[in-house]
Structure formats: C-alpha cells, structure tokens
Amino acid sequence: MNAWKKILPAVLAVIGLLGGSVFAAERATKDEAQAMVKKAVAFVKAQGADKGYAEISNKTGQFVDRDLYIVVYGLDGVVRAHGANQKLVGKNMLDAQDVDGKYFVKERAELGSKQASFWQDYKFVDPLTKKIEPKQMYCERLDETVVCGGVYKL
C-alpha cells in the first residue's frame, strides 16, 4: 500500500499529460487548415462548383476533420458551401458579426477581393467545446469566391 502512495502521483501526472496531448490531437493545426483549403480549391477546380460545393458541405466528407471544416463564400457574402452548417448555404451573411461586433464575412469578402490568400482573426463557436473561441481562418480566392478553413486559438 505504501508503494502506491509513491507511484500514484506519477501515474496521475502521466495520465494528465497524455490526456492533454490527446485533446491537442483533436485540434487542427494552421498547416492542416492551409492544406485542406488548397485541397478544396483543387477539388472545385477539377470537379466543378456543383460537385465541389456538395462535397464541401458533406459533414462526413473529405473536407471535415475534427474541428476543421471548409466554407466557401461568394465575394457578395453568400454562402456557397459550409462543412459545419448546411442551413447557411445560399444565405447572404455580409451582416454577420462576431461577439465583438466584427463583420467577419464582410471583411473576408473584402480581403478576398484584394488578395489571393490571407489569414483572418475573429471569434466563432468551436464545434468541440460549443463555446465562442478566437479563430484564425485561412482563405484563398477562387474566381468570385473565397475558400476558407480555420483553427481555434485556445
């Protein structure tokens, strides 16, 4: 019994460390977000918008991985595809604001009209925690759209 008193704190410490790394493994990285956006752009170019947007909006498809999913916005603010919320497809979201009042879709459309690719910061609901968290979104312009995927900065 005395040996357990010595070993137990070490065992709990190891479990705690492993638990943290397991949680971290559930999170996408910035490199993974960029790679998935590039893959989505290539897919839409190869397969066409209709098939591409359908695959991007498929919650069990190749463009959803853990807390990472792809969204496509027209430069007019209309959602063309959304890997986390299909109900938004077809809706104009230019007036959407985050909790700080930032018009993040309007900003995204403006950045997309000026730059071939960019990172954008705003706050959004994390699909894993269901809490509003700081998020960084990587986007690439494709014709009159921006194809984006983001990571949560926890």
Domain ranges of the chain: 29-152
Model pTM?
0.83
Q: Find the mean pLDDT for residues 50-57.
A: 98
Q: Give the pLDDT of residue 13.
A: 38
Confidence of residue 2 (pLDDT cuts 50, 70, 90): low
Q: Give the pLDDT of residue 128.
A: 83
Task: Report the relative pairing of strands 132-142 and 117-125 from DSSP bridges.
Answer: antiparallel
Enter the tokens of residue 123.
């706050």
Enter the tokens of residue 139.
């986007």
Q: Find the mean pLDDT for residues 20-36.
A: 78
Q: Give the pLDDT of residue 17.
A: 36
Confidence of residue 12 (pLDDT cuts 50, 70, 90): very low
Q: Give the pLDDT of residue 20.
A: 38
The burial class, CB within 10 Å (0-12 / 13-18 / 19+), for 17 is exposed
Instruction: Enumerate residues 6+ apart whose C-beta is below 8 A from 77.
Output: 92, 93, 94, 105, 106, 109
Fold classification of 29-152 is Beta-Lactamase (3.30.450)
Enter the tokens of residue 84.
């986390």
C-alpha 4/C-alpha 57 separation (Å) is 52
Q: Is the pLDDT of residue 9 over 80?
A: no
C-alpha 121/C-alpha 67 separation (Å) is 16
